[in-house]
Amino acid sequence: DQQVKQNSPSLSVQEGRISILNCDYTNSMFDYFLWYKKYPAEGPTFLISISSIKDKNEDGRFTVFLNKSAKHLSLHIVPSQPGDSAVYFCAASAWYSGAGSYQLTFGKGTKLSVIP
Amino acid sequence: DSGVTQTPKHLITATGQRVTLRCSPRSGDLSVYWYQQSLDQGLQFLIQYYNGEERAKGNILERFSAQQFPDLHSELNLSSLELGDSALYFCASSATRGAATNEQFFGPGTRLTVL
């Protein structure tokens, strides 16, 4: 039972255009959301995050939007660059009382290809 | 470079064998997490250690175990290996035991191939 879903395994975008990566979640207890980027042969690296009390967070070319009522978030990259080609993972954070800590749940990832 | 190191990078072994994967967290980080990424799967959380103690368990098989040593490095032991255990295994570290922001820093991973 996937609690964090990235329904598009891949996405191709022309350089300079907007890339929109989507993520849906089912657990209403998630209260923080993160995007990680992964290049081949490397581990994921943190990109941008958003708290559940906000609906938008922007960092340079990257903007994350959160729609809590729809349990949906999206990552916008504008303008897209060839160096943005990577796998993007959506992750959600929730408190687990048994662990006494927050834990991350990841989606399966979306492979973004930016075409020059 | 995240500051998290993992060894070895690649491991090829046979079914039924046992292997040990090693992780050194970023300097100062007390939490270590282990994840498994199988083909077409997301990152599946396996287990977390904080300052030497197990904090949380995810989808970790009984054939798998882990520990965190006093110097904070961690090892993931996989035994009675099966073909389905072939995957990328990532280690991540964070400064806290698990804060809401929970930014984790990932190592480059160990690719395990079971033949």
Beta strand spans in chain A (E): 4-5, 10-14, 19-25, 32-38, 45-51, 56-59, 62-67, 72-77, 86-96, 101-106, 110-115
Band of pLDDT at residue B103, cut at 50, 70 and 90: confident
Q: Which residues of A touch B43 (CB under 8 A)?
A: 44, 89, 91, 106
State pLDDT tens for residues B53-78: 998 888 899 999 999 999 999 999 99
Per-residue pLDDT at A54: 94
Per-residue pLDDT at B42: 81
Q: Which residues of A touch B4 (CB under 8 A)?
A: 43
Band of pLDDT at residue B100, cut at 50, 70 and 90: low
Contact B56 A41 (CB under 8 A): no
Q: Return the closest-CA partner of residue B72 out of B87, B53, B89.
A: B53
Q: With a cut of 90, say whether residue A94 has pLDDT above it.
A: no
Alpha carbons A99 and A32: distance in angstroms, whole number: 17
User: Which residue do the tokens 């990532």 mark?
Assistant: B90
* Stretch A45-60: mean pLDDT: 95
Residues A91/A105, Cβ–Cβ less than 8 Å? yes
Per-residue pLDDT at B56: 87
Provide the shortest C-alpha distance from residue A31 to chain B (in Å). Answer: 8
Beta bridge partner(s), residue B11: B112
Among chain B residues, the shortest Cα distance to A93 is held by B100
Mean pLDDT over the full length of chain B: 92
Contact A102 B99 (CB under 8 A): yes
